[in-house]
Structure 1
């Protein structure tokens, strides 16, 4: 197998294993049944795989797509009136992404949201999820502690594989327990799509669609462009947003919340490990896309194992996967001293879990942060100088 093929396969495996449990947790939190959540994992794997193959082949660039992991984490605390309302919000996200393709000014407006506020909102949403390993270790140490140990050791020795290995250990534990209790039925491992007719409601649109769109753009699409630019590739914005928007729209009725440009995992196919020839690295992305389609075939079995897991075990593994994202978000949010008050307010509202009028905390966190931002920005240097005696 060539270097580019290996890099592509690693990209797909790391992307899938590092966050599939986060996706399932988020979908179930907004009302999906076990079958609907499994359908969401399946359709996300298919759409991002097909989209990656299309973009890589058309552009001859190592452009890879991913599901929105921060978006899935946001869903875990968003809350919606119903699963059809959540699906309606997913449809709106797809429409908004397509609008950014046709009208780049919308993307510019999203980029105008101060980065510290967007990162503070994301950090606040992630805190409850990242506490799951702590609570899980206290409640079921015999199950959770081995997962944490594997994650901690590999985070020091091979950081790229720390989270995938933790999930593999988790799935191994769940598999042993499932076999002891009778195993899974053949029907549980057959992948199938579950249609849900979308419903549009104000609470879901404001509380889910808007924050999900903002997080997907600010934490995935914009950084994804930057990562590829660092390796000398200029992403065709309109084509990329059209493909991800269409993919999100097609996947939404089957439970897919959003697909977007890969950010962290994008470097695996675009960097030197994908081969010395920069013009051939698109083949790594193409391989990653094909592997994602292949992983879709086992998504139902993975989802069934997650459903059969003891309470708190998979949530703990998902929390470990989000720890690096939380750390990066906190660092980006609180880096500048002059903006820490509005940033802290945004973070606290997001972490509070407070819902008003059926709208979740992520939206209100942004409202509070944007309201305070103009008042607490650093004054110009001249205004800070002491008055002359």
Structure 2
């Protein structure tokens, strides 16, 4: 193979490196608030949440660099943002933090098994897409209400954040969420100054080990929904995004790598990592250079910049802990509005499966729990029951009617 096929010339590096920087900035700043909110809802202390944020960043940064370098493809990975939203919605399960960590570890193992055992991947593929998307929409629903409730409860703090989000959405849509997150940090700083709150002393990144504890309640309430949401809303779309740019993702290697990374991060508080979906286009598209064979440099660059951003995890978590009540959730909700819209649209697109999807959405959004298991699990069970008992007979009857006419 010609050396130029694997070793980019220095003159050709500028665009992919800049694209990698943009990927890292957008990916980190647009969703760190969601991750912190989810980990704290799952029982993490501020220092444990900071550890989880750092562990996830290290895990997916190294995973991105390794996959992109080994495959020469612009594969990027990320933390599971929908999974973090699921944790925020499942905060009422009253599980211990060590149980949550055990659930994270088992989710990582399931992701790795999806790459190692093809049958598990086929089983996952058998979950109807409308129900998986409806479950995601239900998980996101309450969190996406937070910006609007915050406008009523803390208007002077939430108002500037929402205004910045709207203004940048109008002129620079890609940067709307990162701008809102930076505005949130600025408001928190102003709030701390006006209240005389001292700056946090712990700003250096630090990993904090938690021994996992495995329980059936945590497996059903966190592991299974987290696995389904991560696979259906991150890994599968991540493959599709790269396919749209003409790249074929090595499924087994990607799942084994992200699964192993998730397991490694779990004992330090990380919930799951996966293939990037939305931010994947930044490193795989034309912004990473005209030469498609060299866009993998953008992914390696993104992984390196992510590692640098991870050094701010403790400081970011400390500032978030000092935020006015509801402000962090409001910022997280703004970050997830687009995801909620896409999930709801996909879930309800097919009239033949709409009742089952609505059932899944409503049960999940209700937040009810039963037998120690969260609403996301029961929402999926309810949707499958409606699909089997109501929608499937109707489809068969319709098919017979069309065949006889």
Query: With structure 2 as the length reference, what TM-score do the two structures score?
Result: 0.93
User: In the alignment, which of 19, 23, 26 is matched to residue 11 of structure 1?
Assistant: 23
Q: 1:297 maps to what in 2?
A: 311
Gaps of 5+ in 2: 1-12
- Counterparts of residues 217-296 of structure 1 (less than 5 Å): 217-296=231-310
C-alpha separation in 1, matches of 2:273 and 2:383: 27
Q: 1:331 maps to what in 2?
A: 345
SS at match of 2:378: helix
Q: 1:376 maps to what in 2?
A: 391
Q: CA deviation at 1:386?
A: 12
Q: 1:347 maps to what in 2?
A: 361
Q: 2:8 maps to what in 1?
A: none
SS at match of 2:202: helix
Residue range with higher mean Cα deviation, 332-341 or 151-160: 151-160
RMSD, aligned α-carbons: 1.5
Q: CA deviation at 1:177?
A: 2.3
Q: CA deviation at 1:157?
A: 1.9
Q: CA deviation at 1:91?
A: 0.5
SS at match of 2:267: helix
**After superposition, what is the alpha-carbon deviation per residue over 1:102-124, rounded to whole angstroms, capped at 9, x for unaligned?**
11221121121101000111111
C-alpha separation in 1, matches of 2:88 and 2:17: 34
Q: CA deviation at 1:339?
A: 1.3
Q: 2:198 maps to what in 1?
A: 183
C-alpha separation in 1, matches of 2:402 and 2:77: 49
Q: 2:32 maps to what in 1?
A: 20
Q: What is the aligned length?
A: 387
Q: Is the 8 A contact 1:80 1:86 kept in 2?
A: no
C-alpha separation in 1, matches of 2:281 and 2:144: 25
C-alpha separation in 2, matches of 1:59 and 1:327: 33
SS at match of 2:314: helix
**After superposition, what is the alpha-carbon deviation per residue over 1:319-353, rounded to whole angstroms, capped at 9, x for unaligned?**
11010010001000001112111111111100111
Q: CA deviation at 1:383?
A: 3.7
**After superposition, what is the alpha-carbon deviation per residue over 1:37-77, rounded to whole angstroms, capped at 9, x for unaligned?**
01000101111111111111111110000000000000112
Matched, 1:56 2:68: yes
Q: 2:326 maps to what in 1?
A: 312
- Counterparts of residues 56-205 of structure 1 (less than 5 Å): 56-78=68-90, 79-180=93-194, 181-185=196-200, 187-205=201-219
Gaps of 5+ in 1: none
SS at match of 1:131: helix
Q: Is the 8 A contact 1:80 1:208 kept in 2?
A: no
SS at match of 1:188: coil
Q: Is the 8 A contact 1:125 1:362 kept in 2?
A: yes
Q: Is the 8 A contact 1:80 1:203 kept in 2?
A: no
C-alpha separation in 2, matches of 1:57 and 1:5: 14
C-alpha separation in 1, matches of 2:99 and 2:106: 11
Q: CA deviation at 1:239?
A: 1.0
SS at match of 1:183: coil
SS at match of 1:66: strand
C-alpha separation in 1, matches of 2:146 and 2:369: 21
Q: 1:225 to 1:141 in 2, by over 3 A?
A: same
Residue range with higher mean Cα deviation, 333-342 or 376-385: 376-385
Q: 1:211 maps to what in 2?
A: 225
Q: 1:283 to 1:139 in 2, by over 3 A?
A: same
**After superposition, what is the alpha-carbon deviation per residue over 1:11-36, rounded to whole angstroms, capped at 9, x for unaligned?**
01101111100000000111111110
